[in-house]
């Protein structure tokens, strides 16, 4: 049986403060847990109910009651399996390919989808401003579907990151040049801005290229969702 202190620890990881204090995060659901177990991330423990013996052969798997799992879970309806993992070891940003930079993304679902898009398009480095939502937020992790283990995520000052590179910097704007008419290099930096306000002015001043996704027809939509726009731009980057 899981000791009460362990339940208390896992429950506390729903809060950012305690995630960073203990350097641990929680994922829920079979697919996400199994993907992370196959990754390089160190597992703290896996907890599942007796009727959900998905990975009970794992050395760190433990059977718990439905009540205990509910106490650990952040979901109203726990999926029956929960994994706790250590934060990945810190790494230094590199400039060997395209990097994606997020300037103040606030919605955890958007961030999770963007991480998944990075995984899909082979963008291994994601730079987040310090104001961007935490990548270990439960809603973010749920949206990544396990991709969190395959993308290196750095939280740092964007200006400091850009100062380390001489690669061209592309920013997404409503009035930029059409992405379909821009010749894209093999390496570069793409910056996506806040859901409501776009790229901040001080970062905008560092852009070398302003790009946009043109609309067609008589659409009255003001803009695309930032995750959707990121997917379109990354597709064009890889297609080029």
**pLDDT tens-place string over residues 126-185:** 999 999 999 999 999 999 988 999 999 999 999 999 999 999 999 999 999 999 999 999
| pTM score | 0.92
81 and 111 inside one domain = no
128 and 50 inside one domain = no
| Alpha-carbon separation of residue 142 from 22, 48, 51, 60, 106 (angstroms) | 20, 17, 22, 22, 16
21 and 103 inside one domain = no
What does the pLDDT average to over 39-60? 81
Domain that holds residue 166: 99-239
| Alpha-carbon separation of residue 143 from 106, 182, 213 (angstroms) | 14, 31, 24
Q: How many domains does the chain have?
A: 2
Whole-number pLDDT of residue 70: 92
Nearest to 114 by CA among 88, 153, 86, 159: 153
55 and 108 inside one domain = no
From edge to edge, which strands make up the β-sheet containing 43-48? 24-28, 81-86, 43-48, 61-63
CATH of the domain at 200: 3.40.1280.10
């Amino acid at each position: 049986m899981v000791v009460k202190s362990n339940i208390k620890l896992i429950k506390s990881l729903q809060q950012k403060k305690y995630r960073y204090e203990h350097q641990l995060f929680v994922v829920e659901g079979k697919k996400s847990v199994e993907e992370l177990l196959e990754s390089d991330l160190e597992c703290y423990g896996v907890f599942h109910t007796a009727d959900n013996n998905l990975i009970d052969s794992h050395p760190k798997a433990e059977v718990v009651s439905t009540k205990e799992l509910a106490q650990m879970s952040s979901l109203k309806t726990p999926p029956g399996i929960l994994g706790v993992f250590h934060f990945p070891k810190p790494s230094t940003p590199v400039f060997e390919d395209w990097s994606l930079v997020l300037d103040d993304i606030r919605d955890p679902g958007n961030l999770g989808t963007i991480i998944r898009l990075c995984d899909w398009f082979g963008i291994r480095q994601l730079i987040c401003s310090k104001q961007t939502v935490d990548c270990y937020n439960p809603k973010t992790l749920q949206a990544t579907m396990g991709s969190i283990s395959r993308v290196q995520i750095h939280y740092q000052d964007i200006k400091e990151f850009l100062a380390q590179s001489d690669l061209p910097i592309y920013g997404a704007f409503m009035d930029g040049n059409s992405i379909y008419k821009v010749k894209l290099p093999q390496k570069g930096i793409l910056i996506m801005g806040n859901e409501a306000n776009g790229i901040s002015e001080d970062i905008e001043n560092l852009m070398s290229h302003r790009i946009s996704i043109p609309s067609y027809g008589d659409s009255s939509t003001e803009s695309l969702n930032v995750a959707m726009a990121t997917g379109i731009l990354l597709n064009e980057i890889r297609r080029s």
